[in-house]
Structure 1
């Protein structure tokens, strides 16, 4: 695994994207983080035995982690979808030219749905606790979106991060560290866009109509009774002992579920292995 920067175009503007990358095979796994999160939320993917034959890329959306902060450009599900498509193209140029498997956590699930139709080689999409309907927004995104951006930037952001830091739960304390690296404006604007898309009803429609293979993964400790009756049982995978941050709470089990969802990847070629080691 290495950390690198990609230059992708979003709304015809060059944007620097920070990513963690492993080139291990032709087939490509793209991991899109959630609201207030960062690429580090998927760190365990790079050491998961079940995924060793896949090239893997986890990246920071603009305004998050180490990626570029925008000035005068909106942080929205649409612009994030465009950035995701750009990352896929960059990884294909780097040597991962096979099938594309797209995984989005929480807000990243909404981003992935909007990006899917613009990724020709996409064969599988997985929503991990992703937003599909209004009730998926819960308290956090609505609480952030319910504030004026100026109010959130001046005080609400710091209060939110401090609240997470004081949690007894390890996953929420990890979330605090990722939020602290985010732009307050990016957090507010993306939360607002996420609420709008979730309330529209269009995300569930997009999920149902995807031509690619699709799946929904959730932790058994996270209440999903509002959503599961709306999904085909055959598409739903549960990870026991996990909450919203499935990949943090039960990483081994989570990545084994992904391996089951994806078809068995091809073994790495000598050329790709040499590239990964170089």
Structure 2
């Protein structure tokens, strides 16, 4: 816990961490749409996580990760960059903790070239079904109407997040600060991909993201707050996926119920790594 918290630019990604040691397991945290690694600031204050490498990147287009090294904004591109970053900095094993859009990226990471180093997955209200497309669905609808820029800057950021949500919720105040440095192009393209990968199809009756999550063979836990769609909770029950409600929490339960959430993360890390 005494290690200094640092931010480094590695493989084109801004990575917040404290002294990385190859002798310690990694806890990798992935943020959601429009957000940044700030969503997991409390991880560094959690006493149960002091024996692990904490790796908290900003995806390209978010937070301190300004550019798009390969010229594209896609989940597959993000996964490739994460694989490069992780391979260069730490050897694993790893516990993955991913929020919202990060859950979709995390599911793809669990079938990537570094999949063998990932020993567990905590999915924090990650996108699974079309019912989870609350913000991303609105972004795509606005773009289809030719008014995405207006929707993003005025309707969403200012009227909804800053004026409606933030005055009542410190979580949304922090989200607004991340939105201010989010690149609109990344927000829209990632929203489109979330919508596309969530849609039912002949190949994936419940959508690709739902299929990816249920098919992965490793310990996993889906954490959710009071506003999680009932369809998503029903899907988890139907597929016998371990899940946990954090009462009184919003979508960003790792902030709203930080002590309980990070105790749960520490508990899984202890079981996985001893």
TM range (shorter): 0.7 to 0.9
Q: TM-score, normalised by structure 1?
A: 0.84
* 1:111 correspondence with 2:114: no
Q: Deviations over 1:89-144 (max 9, x none)?
A: 2331xxxx231111110000000001111222111111100001111112x11111
**Residue 224 of structure 2 aligns to a residue in which SS?**
strand
Match for residue 185 of structure 2? 185
Aligned Cα RMSD in Å?
Answer: 2.0
Match for residue 36 of structure 1? 34
The CA deviation at 1:262 is: 2.8
Gaps of 5+ in 1: 8-15, 268-278
Does the 8 Å CA contact 1:157/1:184 hold for their aligned counterparts? Answer: yes
Work out the CA distance in 1 between the residues paired with 2:25 and 2:213. Answer: 22
* 1:239 correspondence with 2:239: no
The CA deviation at 1:231 is: 1.5
**Residue 143 of structure 1 aligns to a residue in which SS?**
helix
**Residue 146 of structure 1 aligns to a residue in which SS?**
helix
Q: Deviations over 1:36-63 (max 9, x none)?
A: 0001110110111121111111010001
Q: Which of the numbers 248, 252, 267 marks the counterpart of 1:260?
A: 267
The alignment covers a number of residue pairs equal to 252
**Residue 174 of structure 1 aligns to a residue in which SS?**
helix
Work out the CA distance in 2 between the residues paired with 1:199 and 1:114. Answer: 16
The CA deviation at 1:73 is: 2.7
Q: Which of the numbers 126, 130, 137 marks the counterpart of 2:133?
A: 137
Match for residue 98 of structure 1? 92
In structure 2, do the counterparts of structure 1 residues 71 and 146 end up closer, same or farther at CA, with 3 Å as the change threshold? farther
Which one is further off, 66-75 or 53-62? 66-75
Work out the CA distance in 2 between the residues paired with 1:234 and 1:78. Answer: 25
* 1:158 correspondence with 2:163: no
Match for residue 121 of structure 1? 117
Work out the CA distance in 1 between the residues paired with 2:273 and 2:251. Answer: 31
Q: TM-score, normalised by structure 2?
A: 0.85
Work out the CA distance in 1 between the residues paired with 2:213 and 2:162. Answer: 34
Match for residue 57 of structure 1? 55
The CA deviation at 1:234 is: 5.8
Does the 8 Å CA contact 1:32/1:39 hold for their aligned counterparts? Answer: yes
Work out the CA distance in 1 between the residues paired with 2:127 and 2:218. Answer: 18
Q: Deviations over 1:71-97 (max 9, x none)?
A: 8833222222222222322331xxxx2
